[in-house]
């Protein structure tokens, strides 16, 4: 059997797989992505966070495609949760890390969203092969060396690579090559039963695109608008109440909806979709877990292959794309000879574990039902160790995927970039010959005011010395200006 060689081979073409593959291929490395299904394929996990939309997706270069897909705009979340009997709403615009018009995410049909990311990977130079199932991880005595897979014609094939990425989600077992068995949480052990409805009610504008999450006696419901008329509805039920979703799924879902007055009200005039991809009522265990290690020499776990936490804050795709971005930085740094594998991947794992840990710890507190939302906001400030912002701001940063303070994820950075670009453009115009512009931009005062305005914004955002980033951990690395690699931190 001939063995093909790549710099990186990725198992799985969901958001984590296509993100890591694209960000590594964009640096000129040879990347193969193997995906079992042929896209578009169904997946759950439809509510996104601003960090994915304005951070990672911007780096991937799919901003315009996402906008053109007409996904509903999600400005925040509405919860019937905790001690307060009425629903309360938070808006992403409260976050100091997101700027005005970018204070939103999307609610996406995952078949469409994941396909956009996978096609983008192809267009950025990734060798994407669909209908290819990875069957085995190959290793020698020191490191993981490649993968074996079955191609669409049923042939066994082998590929070798410097790095193997497991981005194959929560169902495959490839992860067991790194750190052995999964460490399951004792706290979050739920089951979800979900389906799709046409004609459900919408929250009043401007929050009609919000996710609505409603706690009830047996667990909680998500209610996610996927278009003007289509809604994704799911009940997450505690393990002790698991028998409520056994047997006939239609009856079980109807009984759970009847237990929850707000969801009953929103679905009063709706009909369940019973045909096509959305016709099935599905059940998923959403047990939370993490691997004891996220990498070993030659292999890295990202997305659901590495860890998963209860979906109440829609953190799954954020953790998938964020971990993919961290992994891509490490791989790019190693392949370019800038850092050794251990240094680069220790940074990857520390940041990824911190992000997972923040959600996990906060969610444990969020399940305290006898307190009100102020207590949740306070808890967010505590777990993120955020001393700069108010409790509400810390909460919104956490649930927006922005608590790491990662510049590449915050929409605000774009202003800094744009300010710099703007200042350069002012200079260029001033030295140009465009007759309509010259009188204004030739004016020294106007130029100075405009450029200082740009610098002012940068200073406000980046600090007095415009130092781009501080390490997240003592002695850790910082991000390169383009977000594609790690750099050693050199204090001035
Ligand atoms: P996946 O999206 O699972 O992609 C993995 C890919 O690998 C798949 O395409 C699969 O076909 C492929 N694959 C598998 N095995 C192989 C193999 N052997 N060879 C080749 N390819 C393979 N997240 C949110 O952000 N928002 C939400 O609202 C949300 N709600 C959720 C609700 C529930 C009930 C659950 C359980 C999860 C929810 N999630 C949510 C989480 C979200 O579904 C996942 O975190 C996300 O899909 C992870 O992305 P991924 O790329 O790691 O894996």
| ipTM of this predicted structure | 0.99
- pLDDT single digits (tens) 314-348: 899 999 999 999 999 999 999 999 999 999 999 99
In the predicted structure, residue 449 carries a pLDDT above the cut 50? no
Closest ligand 1 atom number to CA of residue 285: 36
Question: pLDDT of 102-132, one tens digit each?
Answer: 789 999 999 999 999 999 999 999 999 999 9
pLDDT band at residue 425 under the 50/70/90 scheme: very low
Q: Report the distance separating Cα 357 and Cα 364, nearest Å.
A: 11
Least reliable range by pLDDT among 15-24, 219-228, 311-320, 469-478: 469-478
Q: Tokens representing 30?
A: 């040879």
Q: Is the pLDDT of residue 44 over 70?
A: yes
Q: Quick one: pLDDT band at residue 439, thresholds 50, 70, 90?
A: very low
Task: Tell whether the model's pLDDT for residue 426 goes beyond 50.
Answer: no
Domains defined along the chain, listed by start: 4-74+96-181+292-372 (3.50.50.60), 184-286 (3.30.9.100)
Indicate the top mutation candidate among 12, 56, 107, 399 to test ligand 1's pocket, ranked by most ligand atoms within 8 A of CB.
Answer: 12
pLDDT at 396 over 90: no
Q: Which atom of ligand 1 is nearest to the CA of 317?
A: 25
Predicted TM-score (pTM) of the model is 0.87
Mutate which of 311, 355, 356 for ligand 1 pocket (most atoms within 8 A of beta carbon): 311
- Tens of pLDDT, residues 207-217: 999 999 998 88
Tokens for 269?
């005039």
Residues 53-73: tens digit of each pLDDT? 999 999 999 999 999 999 999
Residue 381 has pLDDT above 80, yes or no: no
Q: Which of 121, 146, 173, 304 best tests ligand 1's pocket when mutated (most atoms within 8 Å of CB)?
A: 304
Q: Considering only 150-154, 233-237, 440-444, which range has the smallest mean pLDDT? A: 440-444
Q: How far is ligand 1, taken at its centre, from the CA of residue 310, in Å?
A: 13
What per-residue confidence (pLDDT) applies to 475? 85
State yes or no: pLDDT of 389 exceeds 90.
no
Which residues' Cβ are closer than 6 Å to ligand 1? 11-17, 34-37, 43-48, 133-134, 167-169, 172, 192, 234, 284, 286, 303-304, 311, 314, 316-318, 320
Residue nearest to atom 41 of ligand 1 (CA): 316
What are the two backbone dihedrals, phi and then psi, of residue 373, each rounded to the nearest 5 degrees?
A: -65, -30
Report the nearest-CA residue for atom 53 of ligand 1. 169
Distance 204 CA to ligand 1 centre (A): 31
Q: Which residue has the higher pLDDT, 468 or 328?
A: 328
Can you give the pLDDT at residue 99? Answer: 64
The secondary structure of the chain, three-state, reads CCEEEEEEEEECCCHHHHHHHHHHHCCCCCEEEEECCCCCCCCCCCECCHHHHHHHHHHHCCHHHHHHCCCCEECEEEEECCCCCCCEEEEHHHCCCCCHHHCCEEECCHHHHHHHHHHHHHHCCCEEEECCEEEEEEECCCCEEEEEEECCCCCEEEEEEEEEEECCCCCCCHHHHCCCCEEECCCCCEEEEEEEEECCCCCCCCCCCCEEEEEECCEEEEEEECCCCEEEEEEEEEHHHHHHHCCCHHHHHHHHHHHCHHHHHHCCCCEECCCHHHCCCEEEECCCEEECCCEECCEEECHHHCEECCHHHCCHHHHHHHHHHHHHHHHHHHHCCCCCHHHHHHHHHHHHHHHHHHHHHHHHHHCCCCCCHHHHHHHHHHHHCCCCCCHHHHHHHHHCCCCCCCCCCCCCHHHHHHHHHHHHHHHHHHHCCCCCCHHHHCCHHHHHHHHHHHHHHHHHHHCCCCCCCCCCCCCCEEECCCCCCEEECCCC
Distance CA 241, CA 219 (A): 9
User: From atom 2 of ligand 1, which residue's Cα is the shortest distance away?
Assistant: 14
Q: Which residue has the higher pLDDT, 250 or 492?
A: 250
pLDDT band at 369 (very low <50, low <70, confident <90, very high): low
Tell me what percent of the residues of the chain surpass a pLDDT of 70. 84
Of 167, 317, 327, the residue with max ligand 1 atoms within 8 A of its CB, to mutate for a pocket test, comes to 317
């Amino acid at each position: 059997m001939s063995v093909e060689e790549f710099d990186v081979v990725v198992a799985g073409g969901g958001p984590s797989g296509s993100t890591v593959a694209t960000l590594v291929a964009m640096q000129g490395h040879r990347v193969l992505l193997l995906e079992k299904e042929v896209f578009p394929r169904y997946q759950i996990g439809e509510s996104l966070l601003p960090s994915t939309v304005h951070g990672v997706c911007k780096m991937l270069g799919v901003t315009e495609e996402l906008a053109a897909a007409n996904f509903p705009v999600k400005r925040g979340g509405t919860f019937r949760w905790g001690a307060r009997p009425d629903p309360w709403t938070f808006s992403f615009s409260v976050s100091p890390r997101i700027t005005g018009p970018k204070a939103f995410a999307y609610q996406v049909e995952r078949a469409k969203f994941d396909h956009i990311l996978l096609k983008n990977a192809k267009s950025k130079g990734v060798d994407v092969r669909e209908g290819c199932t990875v069957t085995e991880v190959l290793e020698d005595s020191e490191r993981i060396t490649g993968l074996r897979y079955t191609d669409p014609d049923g042939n066994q094939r082998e590929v070798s690579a410097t790095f193997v990425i497991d981005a194959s989600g929560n169902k495959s077992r490839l992860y067991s090559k790194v750190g052995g068995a999964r460490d399951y949480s004792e706290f979050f052990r739920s089951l979800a039963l979900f389906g799709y409805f046409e004609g459900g009610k919408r929250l009043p504008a401007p929050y009609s695109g919000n996710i609505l999450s409603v706690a009830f006696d047996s667990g909680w419901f998500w209610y996610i608008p996927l278009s003007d008329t289509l809604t994704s509805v799911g009940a997450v039920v505690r393990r002790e109440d698991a028998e409520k979703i056994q047997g006939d799924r239609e009856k079980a879902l109807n009984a759970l909806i009847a237990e929850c007055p707000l969801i009953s009200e929103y679905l009063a005039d709706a009909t369940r979709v019973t045909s096509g991809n959305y016709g099935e009522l599905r059940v998923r265990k959403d047990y939370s877990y993490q691997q004891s290690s996220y990498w070993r020499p030659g292999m890295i776990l990202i997305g659901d292959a590495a860890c998963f936490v209860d979906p109440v804050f829609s953190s799954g795709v954020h953790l998938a794309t964020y971990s993919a971005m961290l992994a891509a930085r490490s791989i790019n740094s190693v392949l370019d000879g800038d850092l050794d594998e251990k240094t680069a991947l220790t940074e990857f794992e520390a940041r990824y574990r911190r992000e997972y840990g923040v959600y996990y710890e906060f969610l444990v507190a969020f399940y305290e039902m006898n307190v009100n939302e102020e207590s949740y906001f306070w808890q967010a400030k505590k777990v993120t160790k955020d001393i700069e912002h108010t409790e509400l701001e810390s909460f919104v940063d956490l649930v927006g995927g922005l608590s790491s303070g990662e510049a590449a994820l915050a929409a605000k950075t774009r202003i800094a970039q744009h300010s710099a670009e703007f200042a350069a453009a002012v200079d260029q115009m001033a030295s140009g010959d465009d007759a309509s512009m010259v009188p204004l931009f030739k004016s020294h005062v106007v130029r100075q005011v405009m450029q200082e305005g740009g610098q002012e914004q940068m200073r406000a955002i980046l600090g007095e010395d415009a130092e781009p980033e501080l390490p997240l951990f003592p002695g850790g690395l910082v991000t390169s200006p383009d977000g594609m690699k790690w750099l050693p931190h050199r204090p001035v």
